[in-house]
Amino acid sequence: MTDLENVQEPIDGICSVIISQDEMSAWIKISSPVNEGLPVTLEMVDRALEEFKVTANINRLAVEQAVYLKLWDKPQLIASGTLPEEGKDGYIEYYFPTNEELVPVVNPEDGRVDFRNLNLIHNVKKGDLLAERFPAEEGKNGQTVTGKILHAPVPKNPVLLGGRDTTLEASGSRLVAAKDGHACMQDGKPTVISLYVVKNDVDFSVGNIDFVGNVQIKGDVKSGFSVRAGGDIEVFGMVEAADVFADGNILIKNGIFGGGKCHLAAGGNILARYIENATLRAHKDVIVNDSISRSNVKAGGKIRINNYTGDIIGGHLEALEEICAGVFGSDLQVPTELELGIEPKIRAEYGELLGKYNKKKKELLMLEGYIKEYKNYRENKKDISESYSRTIRERLRNYSHLRIEILEMDAKLQVFEEELAKLDHGIVKATQKVFPGVSVTIVKTTYTVDAPLGKVMFIYSDGEVKPVPLRG
């Protein structure tokens, strides 16, 4: 047989399959038929794909086009694998600051940083949401062209754990505060603490404090700073020209050196070693170990110096029940005002009302003068302009309203004074001495000391304040 005869023999087309090493792509290559050989059919391609186990993600359109459009002798992509889709890790959202970085307040107007307010405390109420867990989102598995499953990574699904004084709801996805306090992270878990401890001084390193629970300060409260607490405040050092306010008690283990710019207010008692040049308000008692000097002190109960020889020199002190010290005033006759028998709040309300009453009375007298002047004009038949007439009409209306206001205030003052007249309690005790310059007011009557007195007690009797010898 000759070479020419061999060339003329028909050769059928064939289909070969090519698969990538990672099995993510598959191609078919269809050879051309020769000398009127038979072309590759769709059934032949399917058998070839089955033989090579290409079973997933086959593009049937691409296969049919390769066969019917006679896309021969070049590889044709007919299958592509799918990569796995990663899911999303679950996460925990915290609704309070979880670090201890100093985050001072910035004034939006001038951009200045307020280092007195460092936002170190995050107050929460019972039931407030502290943290919330959002579950993971599962990914999608992939597949090779040969049908092998490519598994998506398993996303992380954190567990929400709470620390002290927190409650995890039944769903396990929400953590709430079990009590009022300061929310923070302890040992990696949200925790609520009802006692906020400052290990050193309250200064620029700490900033102002505003806390719903109790506050304990191991050092001093420095000038220009403030401490507010929904519970008690305990200061191991001293308080300078600062503001300290507590709904409960205030205990200053050293003392108060206020420089005229210190204010303390307590819903309970105030206790200190000494008080100098400060303003204090206590709903209950003010108890001092050594002395009170040049201060404004008001107590809903007692003001007492524990030390037998402790003194009260200068200032203004008010108490409902008792003011007790070893010595009142000094030989320099420093003005020292003591008031008793009326709760400071009631005394303040009465004083405020009396001040308004006196002001209104002055306004009424002024209007009466204008009205009298107008009557004189009318009686003397003087010409009166329309503008003057309008002014007088307005003053007459004001006069009428003012009279009604004064009558109402007069009635309230009468009630106050009737109640005050019933009060006859409150005493001042001096276990050592009282110097001239001291005045004692019980209810509304005042006794001014004009000569030194020894151990003495001031009482209210028969409408007068009287000094009586103190036994012992």
312-361 tens-digit pLDDT: 999 999 998 899 999 999 999 999 999 986 655 666 676 777 788 888 88
- E strand or H helix at 362: helix 344-379
Neighbours of 97 (CB within 10 A): 15
pTM exceeds 0.75, yes or no: no
pLDDT score at 459? 87
**What is the sign of the dihedral through the CA atoms of 358, 363, 367 and 372?**
positive
- The helix/strand/coil state of 371 is helix
Residues of the chain with pLDDT under 50: 1-2, 4, 102
Cα end-to-end span (Å), the chain: 153
Count the helix, strand and coil residues of the chain and give each as a percent rounded to the nearest 5. 20, 35, 40
Tokens 């700490």 sit at which residue? Answer: 206
d(CA 157, CA 259): 58
pLDDT score at 8? 78
pLDDT score at 373? 72
Q: Which residues of 394-403 are buried (b: 16+ CB within 10 A; e: fewer)?
A: ebeeebeebe
185-222 tens-digit pLDDT: 888 899 998 898 999 999 998 899 999 889 999 999 99
Q: How far is CA 95 from CA 78, 133, 183, 229, 374, in A?
A: 52, 11, 9, 22, 70
| Category of 187 on φ-ψ map: left (φ > 0), alpha (ψ -120 to 50) or beta | left
Name residue 167's beta-bridge partners.
176
d(CA 339, CA 428): 9
